[in-house]
Structure 1
Amino acid sequence: MLALRNILWISLLMLAIGIEINQAKKCKIPENNEDIDWDKVKNDWYMVLHTNDEIMKKDVIGAKFQNISNTNEGMRIVITDLHENSPPQTFTSHKTKRRDGVYYGKKSEEQAFLASHTLTPDGGTNDKAKKIDDALFNGDILSLCDEKNFLVNAFCSLSDEWVVWVAFPTLNPTIHQISLMWNKLIEKGIIVQLYPSKTVENPELMESLK
């Protein structure tokens, strides 16, 4: 129940702020951002909030992030995406660093990677989700992380709207952790409506991976 109250609180806060701030502001990655030492981002992280984009609102119900570390080019992370109607997919994501806090995603040819976002359970392709992937791998990705409370990946869709995925080191983040995350988004000029992943309300789905 605490997690649900947290989600309700942040949703109401974002709604109130959205009334005062022009949400039509053009999506643009900020120039000045903080560097991240990925070797300090320990333990497992979980997708908790997202902008309900075509990837997240269809088949992906949650994600788990593990083995985060620095590389010579930037960073790497092992991701397990949970799906509504198909088996979980685990793959390794590599990102190349452009400048502090800004990365370029490298698209993998791993079948698990390709299946995780755009393939439908019946073997077809979700064209709307593919457009999100096209934006993800053809533009800059803003990473915001204080190394212990929140981890945000944000990028611009092909229609110039923010796509934001937020992870925490728990499926049940505290009000303090959510506030730190939201304050950082505001600082960067990112005003969006966020929605809880299905694994927040059904943590047993994520626990089945252990």
Structure 2
Amino acid sequence: MSITKIFLAAILLSTAIAFEPKCFFPEPAGDFDAYKLRGTTWYTGLQTNDAAASDIKCERAGNFTETSNGFRTDLRTFKKSNKHIDWVAHFTFLRSGVYQESKVKDDFSMTDAYTVDENGKYNSAADSIVENVLLERDYAFISDHLNYWMAILCSEEGQWIVWVYFPTKTPNLTNIAAAYNELQRLGVSTQLHASQCDKAH
């Protein structure tokens, strides 16, 4: 069975849920060490089907750098239109495993990356998530620093926003299982969709 078939089977089995509970913010068990992600390029493999992700084929993260108050990382957001946008995300440490994105430094870049659709049209639903969730609410960053790292947020409406990054465009069963096991341990129960990183260039 090919890796793609295993990947799709894992998604279908894990997302076959009858009821999606209201989002609660998971408190990470340990700190998120961005330094341990250095030297690896990470790609989104699974994500919720939120408006900010609706026109994104894939997102690549790398060059994790510690700062005086948190960390920053270089991102390349691949649009479905085959364009990409390069930008830098800045995160401020709040408490163990919990960060907030810098509204001052990242507002324009994030808006550019997430709120314009493949036809160049403005997506107001995505803009609402950027302005009211991604730039305002706390992020839980969770990672085993080997198989996955993930960002988990709760929207104002109590919906999960989850993006799971893997160290390859085509994660293997070990990568996927490690991420799903951690999501289950945290009590995160939401539908996740496969990204299209294998088609991003």
2: CA distance, partners of 1:65 / 1:176: 20
1:115 partnered with 2:112: yes
1: CA distance, partners of 2:97 / 2:15: 27
1: CA distance, partners of 2:189 / 2:20: 6
1: CA distance, partners of 2:33 / 2:122: 36
Q: Deviations over 1:65-92 (max 9, x none)?
A: 1101222211111000011226210011
CA contact (8 A) 1:132 1:158 kept: no
User: Structure 2 length normalisation: TM-score?
Assistant: 0.89
SS at match of 2:161: strand
Identity %: 28
Task: For residue 64 of structure 1, report the CA deviation from its aligned partner.
Answer: 0.8
2: CA distance, partners of 1:33 / 1:70: 21
CA contact (8 A) 1:14 1:191 kept: no
Taking structure 1 as reference, are residues 135 and 111 closer, same or farther at Cα in structure 2, changes over 3 Å only? closer
Which residue type is aligned with residue 167 of structure 1? Y
Matches within 5 A, 1:83-162: 83-85=79-81, 87-107=83-103, 108=105, 111-120=108-117, 123-133=120-130, 134-162=132-160
2: CA distance, partners of 1:167 / 1:32: 17
Q: Which residue of 1 aligns with 2:20?
A: 23
Q: How many residues align?
A: 198
2: CA distance, partners of 1:163 / 1:110: 18
Q: Deviations over 1:47-106 (max 9, x none)?
A: 11111111222x211111110122221111100001122621001101111111111111
Give unmatched runs, 5+ long, in structure 2. Answer: none
Within the candidate set 165, 168, 173, 2:166 is matched to 168
2: CA distance, partners of 1:117 / 1:3: 29
2: CA distance, partners of 1:38 / 1:32: 14
Taking structure 1 as reference, are residues 2 and 74 closer, same or farther at Cα in structure 2, changes over 3 Å only? farther
CA contact (8 A) 1:151 1:166 kept: yes
Taking structure 1 as reference, are residues 32 and 85 closer, same or farther at Cα in structure 2, changes over 3 Å only? closer
SS at match of 1:9: helix
Task: For residue 112 of structure 1, report the CA deviation from its aligned partner.
Answer: 4.1
Q: Which residue of 1 aligns with 2:51?
A: 54
- Stretch moving more, 106-115 or 70-79: 106-115
